[in-house]
Structure 1
Amino acid sequence: MDEKLSFSKYQGAGNDFILVDNRTGFFDRSDVNLVKRLCDRRFGIGADGLMLLQDIKNFDFEMVYFNADGREGTMCGNGGRCIVAFARDLGIIAERTAFLAVDGRHEAKIDEELVDLGMIDVNGTARDGAAYVIDTGSPHYIHFVQNLDNLPVYEEGYKIRNNDKYRKEGINVNFVQQESDGGYFVRTFERGVENETLACGTGATAAAMAAAVEYSLEGSLEIPIRVLGGQLYISFNRTGEQFTDVRLKGPAQFVFKGKI
C-alpha cells in the first residue's frame, strides 16, 4: 500500500484498536505484514488489534478483526464495542445497530461512550483440571487464583497458551480472583497479542460464566468484572450449562485519528 491510510484509534477499558473504514474495499486483508506493522507499538501506530468496517447486505456493517500478529482472529468483545462507537461516529448508525462478525450476528446499543453489546449464547463449559475452558466467540482458559495483583501473568499465561494441548490453535488465558463486592478481578494473556492486555471482553465474559459455575449462581445475573484498564459488566441468564441473553457492557472511547 503506497498511498496514505486513514485510521482512527479507539480503546475499550484499555484494550486499544486501529479502526479502518473499508466500505470501498481498498484494504488488502491478506496483507499480514501490513497489519502487523500497523499494530506494532514502536514501528507503527500501536494496538492490540486492527478492525475493518465493511459493507454487507442485511446488516449495518461487517466487523473484520485482526490480531496484532497480523492474522484474522476470532471474536473480540472490546473490539466489537469499539467498532460500534466508530460506526456511530461515521454516521452509519445512531443508538442501535445489528452487525456481522466472524461468530455471527451481534446487536448493540450505544449511549455516549457506554456500549452494551450482545454476545453469542454459550451452551456448555469444559474443564482442564481445576480450570474452565469456555468459548465465548474466542476460546478461553479460566483459572481462579488468589493474590492476582502479584501473579506473573505473562509467564504463567505463556506456559499454558504454549503447552502441548493449546500450542497449535492457541488459547486466551484468564486468571480470576473473587472480590469482596461480589465482582471479580481478571487479568488476561491474549493469543495473537502474545502478551497480557489491559482488558479482554470475551475473556471477561468467559470469566463471569466460569464464576457462575464455580460459585453456583443461577438465573438472571449481572457480574462486575474489574480489569487493569477499567470496569466491565457481564450479564446473562444461566440455566444449568446454558448461558443466554449474554451482554458485555463497558466504555468505548475515541482516542485519535490520523494518516500513516
Structure 2
Amino acid sequence: MKINFFKYQGAGNDFILIDHTASPLKDIDNELIEQLCDRRFGIGADGLMFVTQHEQYDFEMHYFNADGRLGSMCGNGGRCIVAFAKHLGIINKETNFLAVDGPHYARISENGEWVDLQMIDVDLITNDGDAFVLNTGSPHYVSLQKDLKNFDVYHTGKAIRYNETYNEKGINVNFVEDLGDHLFVRTYERGVEDETYACGTGVTAVAMAMAKHKNQTGHLKTDIKVLGGDIKIEFDYDGEKFTNVFLCGPAKLVFEGQVG
C-alpha cells in the first residue's frame, strides 16, 4: 500500500507528516515508523506525525520518535504540524489542537512558514547539581557550558540521558552558552538518541532555566540560536510560574512523496 507523506522542518528539526483524517488511527506499525525515519534506508527524520480528526479540536497530533515509539510533546513538531494543517486546509490563521500533553493554541503567518505555538505552563524547576531539570511537555536537563561550539554534545548528553537518575524514562539533555544578546543551544534528544539540529521543548526549557538562573521576571523574550537556525521564546514569569509561553519559529515544507 502506498503512503502519501510530507516532509517538514522547523529550524532543522525534521519530520514526516501523514494525513490520517479520513480514518481512525489504529494498528500503528512501529517498525515501519523507525524504517521511514532512518536516514539511510528510509525518508529520514527526527520523528513522524499523524494528523487525525477530533470532535472538540481542529485536529489531533500523534507524535512518534525516530525509534518508532510514541513520544512526548515535540515543540518544533507541533509548529510543523500546524503548518501542515494549514496546507491541508484544516485551519487558516490560528488553531486549537490536541497533543499528548493537552490542548495547544497556535497562530500561523499568511505564507504558512512561521508558527507561534503556545506551550504548557511550567511551575516546577529542580536542580541536579548545577543543572536545571524541568518538563515543558517533555522532560529536560539544562546545563550551562562555555565554548559550546566545540563541546562534545553527543557523548556527554548520552551519558546523562542513560545515567542512573534518568535511565528508566530517559531525559533530553540541553547545553546552553549565554552569548549576551542571544543563547546558543545544542541538544541530545532521547528517542532520536543523537544530537538534533533543534528541539522546541528543549529551547523552551533553556529559556525558562536561564530566566530563573538570572532572577529575571516579567514579560520576557529570548532569542535562541540552534544548529538549524533561529527560534524565539516568550513568556510571563512571576518568579514562581511561567505562563503565556510561546515557541516561535519557522516551519517549512521540504518535499512530498509516496512510499511503500
Q: CA shift at 1:240, angstroms?
A: 1.4
**Alignment partners' CA distance in 2, 1:27 and 1:45:** 21
5 Å-filtered alignment, 1:65-104, equals 65-104=63-102
Which residue of structure 2 aligns with residue 16 of structure 1? 14
Q: Which stretch of structure 1 is more off in the superposition, 9-18 or 27-36?
A: 27-36
Q: CA shift at 1:135, angstroms?
A: 0.1
Q: Which stretch of structure 1 is more off in the superposition, 238-247 or 9-18?
A: 238-247
**Alignment partners' CA distance in 1, 2:254 and 2:240:** 39
Which residue of structure 1 aligns with residue 159 of structure 2? 159
Q: CA shift at 1:241, angstroms?
A: 2.2
Question: What percent identity do the matched residue pairs reach?
Answer: 57
- Give the letter for the 2:222 counterpart: I
5 Å-filtered alignment, 1:1-260, equals 3-25=1-23, 28=26, 30-111=28-109, 112=111, 113-181=113-181, 183-260=182-259
**Alignment partners' CA distance in 2, 1:199 and 1:16:** 9
Report the aligned-residue RMSD.
Answer: 0.9
- Give the letter for the 1:167 counterpart: N
User: Counterpart of 2:80 in 1: which secondary structure?
Assistant: helix
Q: CA shift at 1:29, angstroms?
A: 5.1
Q: How many residue pairs align between the two structures?
A: 257
- Give the letter for the 2:84 counterpart: F
**Alignment partners' CA distance in 2, 1:145 and 1:134:** 18
**Alignment partners' CA distance in 1, 2:77 and 2:184:** 20
Consecutive aligned runs of 4 or more in structure 1 exceeding 6 Å deviation: none
Instruction: Give the gaps of 5 or more residues in structure 1.
Output: none
**Alignment partners' CA distance in 1, 2:213 and 2:100:** 29
- Give the letter for the 1:244 counterpart: T
1:40/1:26 CA distance change after superposition, 3 Å = farther
Instruction: Give the gaps of 5 or more residues in structure 2.
Output: none
Q: CA shift at 1:25, angstroms?
A: 2.9
User: Counterpart of 1:244 in 2: which secondary structure?
Assistant: strand
Q: CA shift at 1:32, angstroms?
A: 1.0
User: Counterpart of 2:141 in 1: which secondary structure?
Assistant: strand
**Alignment partners' CA distance in 2, 1:14 and 1:215:** 29
Q: CA shift at 1:218, angstroms?
A: 0.5
**Alignment partners' CA distance in 1, 2:144 and 2:219:** 22
Q: Using structure 1 for the length normalisation, give the TM-score.
A: 0.97
CA contact (8 A) 1:12 1:79 kept: yes
